[in-house]
A and B are shown apart, each in its own frame.
Chain A
């Protein structure tokens, strides 16, 4: 596609509910990243895929967070038993290569609100 597409754009979840956030990267982009952006803060790294391989998940804040990219294209970030502190904008970015020098293309994000 023309850009990185994320869905849903907004999600309201009750505390304890499971959510799934989707990212459609630019076609052919090898690298895919997830970031979490709290209100008024810069994005924080969550996890990184190169094709279908999850090469780095050190930024996932707890074992309630899980990400997958089974066919090396679309990725899903799943959050189980959501908590209020999970409220944030979740950003997805993709890149044709595995280095940041090319500059990633970011999606518009999914704003998650846990009530």
Chain B
């Protein structure tokens, strides 16, 4: 079945540091890939997505590129801010499994001033 694996957390960075959160997936065919963010006390919010190989999703300074050859969708940001502190979830969906999202375990990011 489908699965998503995220780098183990938590991740603690200083403000303006470079961020990478690794995500790899297992799926047959061509899934769509997503990053969701969960701020404290709030629901999951879609951060960015990519629906086919080599697509780059981007939003709020975050980027991720759909790499089919390495089955990866790593999240990056060049300069993090304190306000980026949240839990980040990588997820995939595939038509063969309906419209459901399959999530990774999440990575807690803390950015210190």
Show the binding face of A for B, using Cβ within 8 Å. Answer: 3-4, 31, 33, 35, 40-45, 48, 55-56, 59, 91, 93, 95, 98-101, 103-104, 106-109
Contacts and interface: CB of A to CB of B under 8 A. Distances in A.
A43 B102 CA distance: 8
A105 B60 CA distance: 18
Q: Which label, helix, strand, loop or mixed, suits the secondary structure of the B interface? A: strand
Contacts of B32: 100-101
B45 A106 contact: yes
A41 B98 contact: no
Interface string B40-76: 0111111001010000000000000000000000000
Given A56-B98, A100-B34, A43 B103 contact: yes
Given A4-B43, A99-B93, A106-B43, A41 B105 contact: yes
A109 B43 contact: yes
Nearest to B108: A40
B43 A107 contact: yes
Contacts of A104: 46, 101
